[in-house]
Amino acid sequence: MLSECDIPKYWYNVIADMTNKPLPLINPGTKQPLKAEDLYPLFAKACADQEMNYTDRFIDIPDEVRDMYRIYRPTPLVRATGLEQALDTPAHIYFKNESVSPVGSHKLNSAIAQAFYCKAEGVTNITTETGAGQWGAALSLAAKHFGLELAVYMVKISYNQKPYRRSIMQTYGAEVIASPSMSTKAGRKVITERPNYQGSLGTAISEAVELAMQTPNCKYVLGSVLNHVALHQTVIGMEAEKQMEMAGEYPDVIIACFGGGSNFSGLSFPFLRHNLSGEKQTRFIAAEPESCPKLTRGVFQYDFGDEAGYTPLIPMYTLGHDFSPANIHAGGLRYHGGGAIISQLKRDNLVDAVDIPQLESFKAAALFARTEGIIPAPESSHAIAATIREALRAKVEGRAPVILFNLSGHGLIDMSAYDRYFANDLSDYHVSDDEIIALTSKLEKIV
């Protein structure tokens, strides 16, 4: 257990330590690499500068951000003895419990930072998208704290599946719009072409970007994928590193679920630097859903971050920006691309990935709830499932690895998904190779 004075004073910028840096973002019009200034119209300047910072290893966390972190940080590191016993495994399983934040997930770590930077630069309005609503809830709270008006495009399937998350955002004072919506050109196009489409993060991003560009004194804020979001999330790993040291162990395996990479990056990067320096040989495993397998089965290519093609081109593993993920309950993992840093690390074999079927994730979640007492978010359950796989394999092989995973959020708002699981009303969703090849073949060849 750490005290408030142990809240990190710096974020860790892994790019500074990478031998092969991520490839640059590309302007889709000119096909030229982007500079930080090119992002100023869309993002807070501080975030744009962080996005392009390839040199500074540590970046100061502003006092105002640390002050707000104190609401819930440092978060606990827990030895999962109940789960270990249930699995009868010699592995030592630890988890970092990010579910204790008032919005129930790690997303607040970057929401606070981005809202602060916007406010400090005189911005009055911000827009964003959200999948399951974890990010939207976090940003709603941060926006209220710093006095910003916020509009959230929430993926329609989650808007309907998770009405409580919508209510949470509204309780914090945000405006919530189901996406695709008629309020933007991008949304209208999708609705016209596919009237029953239940939305995706890609489409919601397009709508949020479009609204930001058309609103005076307004910036767009993103909850994952980008370098500066991963940077803000490294408070997770910075704390965990100190806590593992207090526990007298060092992780052999680090596991986190993977949607756009924010919680995976946040836990992993501070440990990864010891791999990059050659001191350690920890394995890093990104647990993605079987239904959205960009790291395990996508192609490495330049692709848009959104469905409509408003964003810069990002060098990443992708399923294609018009990939339509199945309507799984882990809404936060329904994203087509892996982001620039993680994709480069994956390419260099510095991180691994596994894909987890939905039913396996819920089975793991139920076991975790009954042994550790915390009902996990459907997203986090993918990390738990991957942890269980490792722990059982270790048992067969007679090894006793130290496994650390990120409990990125709790599932108290996702109980309808649990109801459906226990009623045998959920399915797995396999993506065909044909679909992946068809969608990714359409991408422009720039690399």
When binding is defined by CB under 8 A, the residue of 63, 102, 441, 446 that contacts a second copy is 102
CA angle 407, 424, 136 (to 5 degrees): 40
| C-alpha to C-alpha distance for 262 and 267, rounded to whole angstroms | 9
Amino acid (1-letter code) at residue 352: D
CB 87 within 8 A of CB 388: yes
Examine residue 175 and tell whether it contacts a second copy (CB under 8 A): no
79: which 2 tokens?
A: 């030895």
| C-alpha to C-alpha distance for 264 and 273, rounded to whole angstroms | 14
Segments in 154-220 forming alpha helices (H): 156-161, 163-171, 185-193, 201-214
CA angle 57, 281, 234 (to 5 degrees): 35
Q: Which is nearer to a second copy, 41 or 173 (CB)?
A: 173
When binding is defined by CB under 8 A, the residue of 194, 416, 430, 437 that contacts a second copy is 416
Q: Which is nearer to a second copy, 71 or 447 (CB)?
A: 71
3-class state of residue 176 by DSSP:
strand
When binding is defined by CB under 8 A, the residue of 32, 35, 41, 71 that contacts a second copy is 71
When binding is defined by CB under 8 A, the residue of 69, 116, 172, 302 that contacts a second copy is 172
Examine residue 392 and tell whether it contacts a second copy (CB under 8 A): no
Q: Which is nearer to a second copy, 300 or 362 (CB)?
A: 362
Examine residue 435 and tell whether it contacts a second copy (CB under 8 A): no
When binding is defined by CB under 8 A, the residue of 3, 277, 424, 432 that contacts a second copy is 3
Q: Which is nearer to a second copy, 413 or 436 (CB)?
A: 413
Q: Which is nearer to a second copy, 415 or 437 (CB)?
A: 415
199, with CB counted inside 10 A (0-12, 13-18, 19+), is: buried
| C-alpha to C-alpha distance for 397 and 9, rounded to whole angstroms | 41
Q: Which is nearer to a second copy, 171 or 214 (CB)?
A: 171
Q: Which is nearer to a second copy, 109 or 282 (CB)?
A: 109
- The least CB distance from residue 366 to a second copy, in Å, is 6
| C-alpha to C-alpha distance for 17 and 345, rounded to whole angstroms | 12
Q: Which is nearer to a second copy, 135 or 220 (CB)?
A: 135
When binding is defined by CB under 8 A, the residue of 96, 106, 119, 145 that contacts a second copy is 145
Examine residue 85 and tell whether it contacts a second copy (CB under 8 A): no
The C-alpha torsion from 269 through 271 and 277 to 283, rounded to 10°, is -100
Examine residue 422 and tell whether it contacts a second copy (CB under 8 A): yes
| C-alpha to C-alpha distance for 55 and 145, rounded to whole angstroms | 32
Question: Which residues in 358-377 contact a second copy (CB under 8 A)?
Answer: 366, 369-370, 372-375
Interface residue list for a second copy (CB under 8 A): 1, 3-4, 71, 78, 82, 100, 102-104, 141, 144-145, 163-164, 167-168, 170-173, 366, 369-370, 372-375, 410, 412-413, 415-416, 418-419, 422
